[in-house]
Amino acid sequence: MAMLQSIKWENNVIYILDQRLLPEKIEYIKCTQYEEVAKAIENLSIRGAPAIGIATAMGIAIATLKLKAKTPEKFLEELKPVFWRFIKTRPTAVNIKWAVEKIEKLINNNFHKSVQELKELIINEALRIHQEDIEINKSIGENALPLFKDGCTVMTYCNAGSLATGGFGTATAPMYLAKERGIKFKVIACETRPVLQGARITSFELMHAGIDVTLISDNTAGALLKRGFIDFVIVGTDRTVRNGDVANKIGTYSLAVLCKENSTPFYVAAPLSSIDLKTPSGEQIPIEERNPDEVTTIKGIRIAPVDVKVINMAFDVTPAKYVTAIITEKGAFLPKHIKYLNDEKRLKNFRLKL
């Protein structure tokens, strides 16, 4: 099975697959400066909550290589603008802040070490975050795998795939595992306007891995759900909060409502890193508004009148009541039990058998 990789670290160079060029071209952006990595996050060359967390950690690691600081204090001071640059790239995604805080904490915990040692620690941490992400996704895949019965048809939205992560993806992890284990299933990929991650990326990476995938316009999802063609829907998440509300790509909410209306289970694959237990409910999640050009042009071709007003929200919030289960590397849970994620004793009573 040929699974594509979104990001690679080789000899102190970061290679980012330029997903804006998919599906025509498989081309990697070679980054030796953190600014190149930040730009790649900003312009969506790399996207997907876990992948941009990894890119942030690697980007900070590569920034350290150029720093001249001689003391840990000065080193941390010089890194602050780098942290800030990454945090500003994408406001809704929690993984960037998570990666920045992880590295800041690592430095603070090792303030007795030399700057050279700190640089090595940070590089190793970035590589560890990448490796850990792959392991986490495999665990999510194992936990979701019981949903995949021979002959089933599953719908997914946007790209919570290998290319949104360090590898395997979140919503796609059980697909890759099911494929490896010879389970026969079909995937319906929604194209996901405006940025078309489903058309350009999900259908591409699944085809690349030999998985049976069919592309639809997002507007076709309702008709297929109504006809009973879909056994369940599984999507990723950019941020899931304490009460189980799920922020994800704009249109996820609509799909969840259509699932409820048609009694089709709606699952969210969520690594712990995307679960924000500090935010009480979806109402507090800031929703990024993006450039109108994403709606009015496609690959530079204009599809709407010049100067037409546009609302282009990048995400929406799916209230917990529409979510059948949230599948994490720790197991699958009802949305209302997500708040116990850090309370192993209570959590074990709430693990669902899918």
Please give the residue ranges that form the binding site for a copy of itself (CB under 8 A): 23-24, 188, 191-194, 196, 199-200, 203-204, 207, 212-224, 226, 249-251, 253-254, 257-258, 260-261, 287, 295-296, 298-299, 301-313, 316
The CB-side HSE value for 153 (13 A sphere, CA atoms) comes to: 13
Neighbours of 65 (CB within 10 A): 13
Nearer residue to a copy of itself within complex by CB, 72 or 251: 251
Q: Which amino acid is at 314?
A: A
DSSP string over 141-186: HHHHGGG--TTEEEEE-S--SGGGSSSS-STTHHHHHHHHTT--EE
Shortest distance, position 163 Cβ to a copy of itself, whole Å: 13
Separation between Cα atoms, residue 190 and residue 220, nearest integer Å: 8
Shortest distance, position 217 Cβ to a copy of itself, whole Å: 4
Cβ atoms 273, 139 nearer than 8 A: no
Separation between Cα atoms, residue 36 and residue 75, nearest integer Å: 21
Nearer residue to a copy of itself within complex by CB, 207 or 272: 207
User: Given 18, 218, 231, 238, which residue is catalytic?
Assistant: 238
Does 218 qualify as catalytic in the annotation? no
Q: Which amino acid is at 307?
A: D
Nearer residue to a copy of itself within complex by CB, 310 or 334: 310
Residue 347 per-residue DSSP state: H
Shortest distance, position 121 Cβ to a copy of itself, whole Å: 41
Separation between Cα atoms, residue 296 and residue 283, nearest integer Å: 28
Shortest distance, position 24 Cβ to a copy of itself, whole Å: 7
Shortest distance, position 226 Cβ to a copy of itself, whole Å: 6
Cβ atoms 79, 73 nearer than 8 A: no
Nearer residue to a copy of itself within complex by CB, 129 or 268: 268
Nearer residue to a copy of itself within complex by CB, 23 or 265: 23
Nearer residue to a copy of itself within complex by CB, 2 or 303: 303
Separation between Cα atoms, residue 170 and residue 138, nearest integer Å: 8
Separation between Cα atoms, residue 233 and residue 268, nearest integer Å: 8
Q: Which residues contact 88 (CB under 8 A, 6 or more apart)?
A: none
Shortest distance, position 212 Cβ to a copy of itself, whole Å: 8
Give me the active site residues, please.
238
